[in-house]
Amino acid sequence: MEFTAQQIASLLEGRVEGDENIKVSKLCKIEQGEKNGLSFLANPKYNHYLYDTNASIVIVNEDFVLEGKVSPTLIRVKDSYSSFAKLLSIYNEYRFNRKGISSLAFIDKQANVDKDIYVGEFVVIEKYSKVGKGCKIYPQVYIGENVTIGENVTIYAGVRIYHDTVIGNNCILHSGVVLGADGFGFAPLSDGSFEKIAQIGNVVLKDDVELGANTTVDRSTMGSTVIEKGTKIDNLCQIAHNVTVGQSTAMSAQSGIAGSTSVGSNCFIGGQVGISGHIHVGDRVKIGAKAGVISQVKDDSAMFGYPATNARSYMKSFILFEKLPQLEKRISELEKQLKEKENR
C-alpha cells in the first residue's frame, strides 16, 4: 500500500511542508530512515536525526522549529506521537483485515458462528460455542464446548480455550494463551499422595482485556476466575483458580497470582511479582518488580521487596542494607577495643 503526504496529512488533520505528492509504503524509525519510509519525531533527543534521515516523510509537532535544511517532507500536527500511534493502528487494521472461514477449519454444526469473521486453517470450534461478528481466529486455535466469544475479538495462532469460558468484546489473546485449564487443586491424603479436586467453574474475561503470549488463566473450583474490563496482562503470566483481577489493571511479564486472591482496579504490577493466595490487594496499588506479596494490601499502597513492604520503609531498609559492610567493620573494631580494655 502506498499513501501520499497529502493523504496522510488529511487523515491526521495536519499540514504538509514539502512535496505533498511524495509517497510512502512502509514505517520506519527516524534513526533508521529508509526511502519511501514514514517516520515521526517526538523526543527532542532525536532532533538531530531529522537532518540526515533517509525517510521520505516525517511527522513533527506543528510548533517544531527547524535548525537547518531537511530532505524529507514534513507533516506538522498537534501531537506527533499520538498521530503516529493512530497511523500504527490504521496500519494494523489493513494488515490484519482478514475475513472468511477456511475450508480446513472444523466448526461443529451445533456451534453458532457469525458469518462476518475470519477463521484460519485447522481451527476447531466445538458444539454449543458462540462466536460474535468481527472476530479473527488465527490457525490452530482450539475452542471447547459451550464457549462464548463476543464481538471483535482477536485470537492469535495456537490459543487454547477450554469449555464454558466466556470472553467479552474487543479482547485480544496472543499466541499460546490458555484459558480454563484446571486450577491447581489437590487434597493431601494420609498416605502422602494427593487426590485431585474437580475444577467445575470457568473463566470470564470482560470487555477490552488483552492477554500476552503464553499467559494462562485457570478455571475456578466453583464459580468463575474473572478478569475485569480493560485489564492488560503481559506475556508468561499465571492467574490461578478463583482469582479476580479488577478493571484497568496492568500486569507485567512473568508475574503470578495464587488461588482465591482478589486484585483491585487500576493497579500496576511489575515483572516477576508473586502474589500469595487468599489475600486482597486494594485499588490503585503499585507493586515493584520481583516483589513477593504475602498479606493484604490497602488501597493506594506502593510495595517493594520480599516480603513486600511499604515503598518508603523498603527504601530506608535498603539504605541500611548497603551500609552493612561498614557497620560490620565498626562493630568488629568496637569489639576489639572492648576486648583490649578488658585485658588491661
> How many residues make up the chain in this entry?
344
| 3-class SS of residue 7 | helix
Per-residue b/e over 148-179, b at no fewer than 16 CB within 10 Å? bbbbbbbbbbbbbbbebbbbbbbbbbbbbbbb
Residues 6+ apart with CB under 8 A from 94: 1
Active-site residue among 48, 174, 241, 278? Answer: 241
| Integer Cα distance of 169 and 40 in angstroms | 32
Q: In which element (H, E) is residue 61 found?
A: strand 57-61
CA–CA dist 102, 118 (Å, integer): 8
* E strands in 134-223: 136-137, 142-143, 148-149, 154-155, 160-161, 166-167, 172-173, 178-181, 186-188, 194-196, 202-205, 210-211, 216-218
Q: Catalytic: 241?
A: yes
257/273 Cα distance (integer angstroms)? 8
Residue identified by cell 508473586 is 274
Tell which residue, 76, 81, 95, has the closest CA to residue 25.
95
Would you say 137 and 121 are in contact if contact means Cβ atoms under 8 Å apart?
Answer: no
The residues, any chain, with a CB within 8 Å of residue 237's CB and separated by 6 or more, are 211, 212, 215, 216, 251, 253, 254, 255, 256
The catalytic site residues sit at 241
